[in-house]
Each structure stands twice: as C-alpha cells, then as structure tokens.
Amino acid sequence: MALNYYLLLAAFLFCTGIYGVLARKNAVLVLMSIELMLNAVNINLIAFSAFNRSVSGAVFALFVITIAAAEVGVGLAIVLLIYRNEHTADLDEVDELKG
Amino acid sequence: MVVQQIAFWIIAIAMALAAIGVVRSQNVVHSALYLVVVLAGAAAQFILVASEFVAWVQVLIYIGAIVILFLFGIMLTRAPMRSTESLDNSQRWAAAVVSLFLFGVLAALLIDAYGDKEIKLNDSLVAIGNTNVVGTEMFRNYLVPFEVVSLLLLAALIGAVVIARRD
C-alpha cells in the first residue's frame, strides 16, 4: 500500500479542519474542526509508524489522543462560561477585546 | 494487497465526505454525527495497517468520550438546531481558498517527497501494532512523558471543573 494514500487522506482532513476553523461561527463547531486536524495528525503518525516499523509513532498517537481529550474538556468549559456570561456561543459576537 | 487497497479507498471516500459534512452541515448535531463517521473511519484505517491498540483507543476515547462531550456542549449552549440563521461567517470563501491552496501545496510536496514509498504489508507489520509491544514501548522508553501527560490530564480536569463551576 502506498504511503502517499495515507498522507494525502490526512492532508485532506487537515485542510477541511482549517476551513472549518476559519469559516464556522459556532464555538463548538470550531472545536470539532480542531478535532479533525488532530485526527489527521494521528493518521500521519500511524502511517509513518507502519512505514518505518517503529512503535514510537503509535505511542505519540496515544499522547495526541490524550491531549485532544484534555483540550476538548477545557475548551468546552470555556465555551460554557462564555455562553453563561454573553448568552451566545457565536464567535462573531464575542468581541469584548475589540478596541 | 488489492483487498486492502479497495477497503482503504472505500473508507477514505466515506471519511472525506463526512469531513466535508462536519464543516458544511447547517445542523450542529449532524456535524457531531459526521465527526463520528470520520473518527470511526480513522480507526478502521489504523486496523488496515495493523495498529489495533491505537484503533481501539481511538474508538474508546474519541467516539466514546470526546463526541459525548461535544453533544453535552451542544446541549448546554443551546446551539441553533433549526437552520434559521447560517452557522458560517462571512469569510467562508476566503477560508475555502486558504484551505484549497494549503491542500494543493501539501499534496504537491507529499507526492514529490514520498511518491514511490510503500508500506509493506507483511508479518513484521503485525508485530509492531499489538498491545504488548505498544505497552512495553510506552512503559519502558516513554515512562516520564506518560506521567507528565497524566498530570496534564489531571490539571485539565480540575481546570475544566473550576472554569465551569457556577458560583
């Protein structure tokens, strides 16, 4: 199996995630797009782990999964706090720091 | 060999369509469900290269825990379920141009750098993906990072509780 198949699939998922981060208004949807990007990195790590016959790639993929879980927990807590204070999860309306 | 290729392309096309669904759907819950398809597809791709342990961790943590967290987040922020107003902002064409340009650059680079490389599917591949090998590697060579990550997870958990607490 060509290594490129995996890398191109991961690149596609990463770019889709970038589009989601840039184009979405809802904060929860932006976090979902970040998950797409982290998942693309995992596919790359596993593909290179299989290509190089090295277990380190799998271990790093596990670390990435753990960090993603921590990131979603803290991110959703922040979104919840914003929603409680501003009564919206819409990122275009959260502009308190704008001069 | 051919069977793996066919399975790869079926799963990859499903993942690509579901990923577009995640960023294009006008219903927040549908986006979360499309995300489940992408994550399950990634787990299936891991199984195709015999990384069974990471595949099952992906199913347990991503689909089992993170998607449930997203659904709770959608519920608690009362995200708009009906498509009365768009979920996209005004810069989506610029975002599409940026992501397409990045995909073009990445694809050209990857094809140039790894165009002739093959993942050889044989018994030595099976020997590096199982739980025994991954666990031995993690608790022998990556013990300190493992402990640091567990501390980080604890700190994130306490931080999330403190941030979201109502008082």
Give the pLDDT confidence score for residue B153 in this predicted structure: 93
Give the pLDDT confidence score for residue B38 in this predicted structure: 96
Asked if the C-beta of B110 comes within 8 angstroms of chain A's C-beta atoms, the answer is: yes
Give the pLDDT confidence score for residue A12 in this predicted structure: 96
Asked if the C-beta of B148 comes within 8 angstroms of chain A's C-beta atoms, the answer is: no
Looking at the predicted structure, is the pLDDT value of residue A9 above 80? yes
Q: Give how far A97 is from chain B: nearest CA, Å.
A: 19
- Return the SS3 of B70: helix
The radius of gyration computed from the CA coordinates of chain B, to the nearest angstrom, equals: 20
Give the pLDDT confidence score for residue B101 in this predicted structure: 96
What's the pTM value of the predicted model, to 2 decimals? 0.92
Mean predicted lDDT score pLDDT of chain A: 91
Give the pLDDT confidence score for residue B80 in this predicted structure: 67
Alpha carbons A88 and B129: distance in angstroms, whole number: 45
Q: Which tens digit of pLDDT belongs to each residue from B50-59?
A: 889 999 999 9
Helix (H) and strand (E) counts in chain A: 3, 0
* Reported ipTM: 0.92
Asked if the C-beta of B98 comes within 8 angstroms of chain A's C-beta atoms, the answer is: yes
Q: Give how far B138 is from chain A: nearest CA, Å.
A: 6
Interchain contact, A23 vs B20, CB within 8 Å: no
Tokens of A37: 């990007």
Return the residue matching tokens 């990923």. Answer: B19
Across the interface, of B62, B103, B119, the residue whose CB is closest to A15 is B103
Residue numbers of A between 65 and 84 with CB closer than 8 Å to B: 65-74, 76-81, 83-84
Give the pLDDT confidence score for residue A62 in this predicted structure: 94
Burial class (CB in 10 A: 0-12, 13-18, 19+), B22: buried
Asked if the C-beta of A64 comes within 8 angstroms of chain B's C-beta atoms, the answer is: no
Mean pLDDT across the stretch A48-72? 92
Give the pLDDT confidence score for residue B127 in this predicted structure: 80
Looking at the predicted structure, is the pLDDT value of residue A25 above 80? yes
Residues of chain B with pLDDT under 50: none
Alpha helix positions (H), chain B: 2-24, 28-48, 52-57, 67-76, 92-114, 123-129, 131-141, 143-164
Give the pLDDT confidence score for residue B11 in this predicted structure: 95
Interchain contact, A11 vs B103, CB within 8 Å: yes
